[in-house]
């Protein structure tokens, strides 16, 4: 066996053991966990089916304001769970949660709904799997964190890079061992063309969609077919654009790998520079810098939703620059390139298609991500059993979410921002502090800490 192959195989085996020790030691629940899902679209179902794969559960309740999506999810749940029962269905999450009979609630709504649903769920006594970013503004995130701690609930955030086997391997065997030496810069990026293009005239919402309820606390705007489903991230009213969707994954992964906390300063620039003929209102070009002076380190983000990527092998990923070498990371693989003499290391994503053959035919499933979601769910179940903190605890999810929101605020205001989580203010900047809390459309009320 060649040395590179031997090293890669050995590291993979050790990492698999480490991951199993971290998240595979839980004992399956008896009785089964009673589970509800709020937001039954693409990723909500992906998360729910992965949880059901690692531990048989009772899927009790489903909620969505899209009646068609809700009906389809209920039919799929009946077919997938061992009982064969069809879950109860709800159009209003408050009606679902007032039953107070759920052990775990999964939340996969658009971002502008996360805070109200998450806080109501923990108040109803449920532990959570909350999709990233946890909030659409910073104070929402603070309120979710406060509610989770007050009610002693476990909250796992869907930043599953922390549970991705080959990334765990890279952290443990390359970063933690010191193979990179002193690290002074991390570049994170996304060059996917994922911002909606062209114009789309307003039309009446489909009869199965409650547009008023879908809009919720966000500003009301005319419906068109480039918003729902899955295209809402192209609008500032509902989320935080590419930064809130893609940067948070790589930024959170970097923080986890390098043990970073809050950035001291966040700055950003960009705008709609190329694709001006689009109904989308988020930047098509953006750079953000997250400063960690105590670590002598900057993390720099860049995205473009046009043109070509600098490295076709890593169109969405992170590059960690150390004095002894460079580490490239993505959801598909990693590559370690030593400076000077030394052996290059490479590992690919782990697929589990033989262990979970249903992954092969599941519509819309990111097959390369499924193992990470399963490990993330195992980690959640272990934290629930021990009442400990999961690997992507809500506080870590809040730091990564808020940092990305601050980047968008910096771009809007044209200046660098320094957030103080103790006072929940932007230091020396009253105007920016006011923007930490977005206006809510009546009758919805913004959560307080």
- pLDDT score of 4 more than 70: no
Residue 6, classed as helix, strand or coil, is helix
Residue 419, classed as helix, strand or coil, is strand
Contact in structure between 64 and 73 (CB atoms under 8 Å): yes
pLDDT of amino acid 31? 84
Confidence label for 25 from pLDDT (cuts 50, 70 and 90): low
Confidence label for 326 from pLDDT (cuts 50, 70 and 90): very high
Q: How far is CA 273 from the centre of its chain?
A: 27
The DSSP H or E segment spanning 105 is strand 104-107
Domains of the chain, each with CATH number or no CATH? 23-161 (3.40.50.720), 165-351+394-434 (3.30.360.10)
Contact in structure between 76 and 83 (CB atoms under 8 Å): no
pLDDT of amino acid 15? 44
Please list the residues that pair with 157 across neighbouring strands: 130
The Cα 188–Cα 215 span in angstroms is 32
Q: What is the mean pLDDT of residues 319-337?
A: 98
Smallest CA-to-CA distance from 123 within 158, 96, 89 is with 96
Mean pLDDT, rounded, of the chain: 94
pLDDT 10s digits, 357-372: 999 999 999 999 999 9
* Length in residues, the chain: 449
- pLDDT score of 268 more than 50: yes
Query: Whole-model pTM?
Result: 0.94
Q: What is the mean pLDDT of residues 25-54?
A: 90
Confidence label for 26 from pLDDT (cuts 50, 70 and 90): low
The Cα 349–Cα 258 span in angstroms is 21
Q: Which residues, other chains included, contact 352 with Cβ-Cβ below 8 Å and sequence gap of 6+?
A: 359, 370, 371, 374
Q: What is the mean pLDDT of residues 207-235?
A: 96
- pLDDT score of 6 more than 70: no
Contact in structure between 402 and 177 (CB atoms under 8 Å): no
């Amino acid at each position: 066996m060649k040395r590179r192959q031997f090293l890669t195989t050995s590291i993979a085996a050790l990492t698999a053991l480490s991951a199993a020790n971290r998240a595979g030691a839980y004992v399956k629940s008896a009785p089964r966990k009673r589970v509800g899902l709020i937001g039954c679209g693409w990723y909500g179902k992906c998360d729910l089916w992965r949880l059901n794969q690692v531990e048989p559960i009772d899927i009790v309740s489903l909620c969505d304001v899209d009646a068609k999506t809700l009906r389809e999810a209920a039919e799929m749940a009946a077919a997938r769970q061992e009982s064969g029962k069809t879950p109860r269905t709800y159009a209003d999450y408050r009606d679902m949660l007032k039953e107070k009979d759920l052990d775990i609630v999964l939340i996969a709504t658009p971002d502008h709904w996360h805070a109200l649903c998450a806080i109501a769920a923990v108040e109803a006594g449920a532990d959570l799997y909350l999709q990233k970013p946890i909030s659409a503004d910073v104070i929402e995130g603070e309120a979710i964190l406060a509610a989770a701690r007050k009610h002693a609930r476990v909250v796992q955030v869907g930043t599953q890079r922390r549970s991705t086997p080959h990334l765990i391997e890279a952290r443990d065997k390359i970063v933690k061992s010191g193979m990179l030496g002193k690290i002074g810069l991390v570049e994170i990026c996304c060059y996917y063309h994922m911002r909606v293009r062209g114009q789309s005239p307003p039309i009446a919402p489909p009869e199965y969609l409650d547009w008023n309820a879908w809009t919720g606390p966000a500003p009301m705007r005319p419906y068109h077919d480039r918003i729902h489903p899955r295209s809402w991230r192209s609008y500032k009213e509902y989320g935080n654009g590419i930064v809130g969707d893609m940067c948070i994954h790589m930024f959170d992964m970097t923080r986890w790998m390098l043990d970073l906390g809050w950035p001291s300063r966040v700055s950003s620039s960009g705008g709609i520079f190329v694709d001006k003929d689009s109904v989308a209102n988020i930047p098509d070009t953006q750079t953000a810098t997250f400063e960690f002076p105590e670590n002598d380190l900057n993390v720099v983000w860049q995205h473009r939703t046009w043109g070509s990527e600098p490295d076709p092998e890593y169109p969405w990923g992170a590059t960690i620059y150390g004095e002894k070498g460079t580490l490239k990371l993505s959801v598909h693989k990693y590559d370690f390139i030593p400076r000077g003499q030394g052996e290059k290391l490479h590992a690919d994503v782990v697929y589990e298609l033989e262990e979970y053959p249903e992954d092969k035919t599941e519509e819309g499933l990111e097959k390369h991500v499924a193992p990470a979601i399963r490990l993330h769910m195992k980690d959640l179940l272990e934290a629930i059993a021990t009442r400990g903190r999961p690997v992507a605890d809500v506080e870590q999810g809040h730091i990564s979410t808020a940092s990305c929101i601050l980047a968008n605020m910096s771009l809007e205001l044209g200046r660098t921002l320094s957030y103080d989580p103790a006072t929940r203010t932007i230091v020396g900047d009253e105007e920016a502090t006011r923007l930490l809390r977005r206006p809510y459309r009546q009758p919805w009320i913004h959560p307080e800490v």
